[in-house]
Copies of this chain bind each other. A is one copy, B any other.
Amino acid sequence: MTFPSPHHDHATCVAHAVAAAEAECRRRGARLTDVRRRVLELVWSGHQPVGAYAVLEALAREGFCAAPPTVYRALDFLLAHGLVHRIERLNAFVGCSHPGIPHAGQFLLCTGCGAAAELDDPAIDAALSAAAARMGFSAARQTVEIEGLCPACRAREGA
List residues of chain A with CB under 8 Å of any chain B CB. Answer: 2-3, 88-89, 106, 108, 110-111, 117, 119, 121, 123-124, 126-128, 130-132, 135-151, 154
Q: When the two chains form their complex, are residues A140 and B135 in contact, meaning their CB atoms are under 8 A apart?
A: no
Which chain B residue has the least Cβ–Cβ distance from A158?
B138
Secondary structure of the A side of the interface?
mixed
A17 to chain B, nearest CB (A): 21
Contact in complex: B144, A144 (CB < 8 Å):
yes
Number of copies of this protein chain within its complex? 2
Shortest Cβ distance from A157 into B: residue: B138
Q: 20 pairs across A/B with beta carbons < 8 Å? A: A2-B135, A3-B135, A88-B88, A88-B89, A88-B143, A88-B145, A111-B140, A117-B137, A119-B135, A128-B146, A136-B154, A137-B149, A137-B151, A139-B147, A140-B148, A140-B149, A141-B148, A142-B145, A143-B146, A143-B147
